[in-house]
Structure formats: structure tokens, C-alpha cells
């Protein structure tokens, strides 16, 4: 219970830094400023502008930037992220379902690779080519 409360306080204070310019926003999420300009061009996170035309990232924008980074970490591309950010975006569910399928295929491939190498480690044949199980791993 105390841990949950602590986390909420941390999240709150983390995003209570007021509006920042593109350089500070980029530093906050650990990317270069040109990356944020690219994300803007792609319509993923579009900051406000000062009357002089400078980009301004509010707490909400900063939070969205972090969400974009999270989505990138699970392997989504920018055009997919743009859809995923908005629950009502057309095609959103399809994009997520397809990526989930992609991840599950990758997991199956990793599981097979792990099982293969685990066997090789303990295989009692002197040559892998003499073992049926060693030879059974698909080559593509
Ligand atoms: Zn073997």
C-alpha cells in the first residue's frame, strides 16, 4: 500500500515541471531534438508553439513522449504508434493485433532456439550431425 502511494507521488512530481522547449523535452526522454521534430512531422506528438514559433512541450506532451518511447520498446513503429495513442483511431485494433501476432511468432522462435541450444549443451553425440535432435532444428 505504501509502495503504491510512493509511486503515485513520484509520477506526479515527475510530470509537474511545467512547459519546456524542445531541447529540454528531448533530454527528458533521452532522444535528440531532431527526433522530436520528426515525431512532430509524423503527427505522433505535436507540441504547442509560442507566439514566436518556438515549440513548447507541456506535461501532457512530455507524458506522451514517454509513452511513445514505451511503444518503441515493444517494437512498434511510428506510424503504428500514431494510431495506438488514440483509442478511437481507425485501424488501431488491427495494428495491435498484428503486432501481438508478430511478438508471439518471435517468442515461439526464441523458445525453439532456446530448446535447441539447451539440447546441444547436453547432447551426448560427438558430432551434432550424428544427432537427430541436433539436426532437426529448422535452418530458416
Ligand atoms: Zn543432439
Q: Is residue 77 part of a domain?
A: yes
Shared domain for 72 and 19, answered yes or no, is: yes
From the list 28, 32, 31, 60, the residue with the least C-alpha distance to 47 is 60
Return the pLDDT at 138: 75
* DSSP single-letter state for residue 20: B
Mind listing the pLDDT tens digit of every residue in the chain (140 residues)?
444 444 444 444 455 567 999 999 999 999 999 999 999 999 999 999 999 999 999 999 999 999 999 999 999 999 999 999 999 999 999 999 999 999 999 999 999 999 999 999 999 999 999 999 999 887 77
Residues in the chain: 140
Shared domain for 124 and 69, answered yes or no, is: no
Report every protein residue that has its C-beta within 5 angstroms of ion ligand 1.
123, 131, 133-134
Q: Which domain holds residue 102?
A: 92-135
Return the pLDDT at 9: 44
Return the pLDDT at 137: 82
Q: How far is the CA of 104 from the centre of ligand 1 (A)?
A: 26
Shared domain for 10 and 78, answered yes or no, is: yes
Strand ranges, E, within the chain: 48-49, 55-56
From the list 71, 74, 90, 78, the residue with the least C-alpha distance to 46 is 78
pTM of the model: 0.74
Judge whether 65 and 55 are in contact, CB under 8 Å. no
Amino acid at each position: 500500500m505504501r509502495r503504491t502511494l510512493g509511486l503515485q507521488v513520484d509520477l506526479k512530481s515527475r510530470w509537474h515541471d511545467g512547459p519546456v522547449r524542445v531541447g529540454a523535452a528531448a533530454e527528458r526522454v533521452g532522444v535528440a531534438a531532431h527526433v522530436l521534430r520528426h515525431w512532430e512531422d509524423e503527427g505522433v506528438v505535436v507540441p504547442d508553439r509560442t507566439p514566436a514559433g518556438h515549440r513548447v512541450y507541456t506535461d501532457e506532451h512530455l507524458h506522451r513522449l514517454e509513452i511513445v518511447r514505451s511503444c518503441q520498446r515493444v517494437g512498434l513503429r511510428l506510424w503504428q504508434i500514431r494510431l495506438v495513442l488514440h483509442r478511437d483511431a481507425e485501424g488501431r485494433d488491427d495494428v495491435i493485433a498484428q503486432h501481438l501476432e508478430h511478438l508471439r511468432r518471435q517468442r515461439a522462435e526464441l523458445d525453439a532456439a532456446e530448446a535447441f541450444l539447451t539440447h546441444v549443451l547436453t547432447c551426448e553425440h560427438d558430432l551434432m550431425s550424428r544427432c537427430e535432435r541436433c539436426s532437426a532444428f529448422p535452418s530458416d
